[in-house]
Structure 1
């Protein structure tokens, strides 16, 4: 006896309704081209730059916010680039790959 049969025995008057499956609210558009992840030093301080996203700016801003929150670091979104304070290339690349993005590492 499976779960559906048990539920029918407990609630004989209930008829299950077919509801459409809702998509995730924060679904970010996936692209075919890789996101470029590079490292620079500005004013002697290390930063990680992500660029090459071809989707909507709102999606890229949401991605920036999520990355900053998961890494607990500061950063910004300027000129279609995400700028993260510090050298977090490896962590960012694994986070993006878990989300399904293709990531390309540029520089040292």
Structure 2
């Protein structure tokens, strides 16, 4: 008996696993945390370029958030993914690497946030 015959024999000897029906989703879908963060934001966001204290590297700073740090972090994550760049969110501000002011302004407007 070669290995193919042994494998086919093993397949026929193995019982089929019992399938359980998937539970129906009756609960409401979870609220979108990004939509909540955007709706709670009050006032305009300030977008500015900065070089000082960064070893000559350019960074774009977004400040003026009136939402909690978790919402700021969520917005920062979305911006970093959409712009394809690095950055961080600390102390109610978002830092994006490079001079991306125009692209950030456009992305924030698409989210429904007002900017300078």
Distance 2:68 2:48 in 1: 21
Closer, same or farther in 2 for the Cα pair 1:88/1:26, shift >3 Å? same
Which residue pairs with 1:29 in the alignment? 38
2:108 is equivalent to residue 99 of structure 1: no
Residue 85 of structure 1: which of 80, 84, 97 is its match?
Answer: 97
Larger RCO: 1 or 2 (CA < 8 Å, sep 6+): 1
Aligned residue pair count: 86
Cα RMSD (Å) of the superposition?
1.9
1:1-80 paired onto structure 2 within 5 Å: 23-27=31-35, 28-30=37-39, 31-41=41-51, 42-80=54-92
Higher strand share: 1
- Highest Rg: 1 or 2? 2
Q: CA deviation at 1:78?
A: 1.7
TM-score by length of 1: 0.71
Point out where structure 1 has 5 or more consecutive residues left out of the alignment. 1-19
Point out where structure 2 has 5 or more consecutive residues left out of the alignment. 1-27
Q: CA deviation at 1:48?
A: 0.1
Distance 1:22 1:78 in 2: 26
Higher helix share: 2
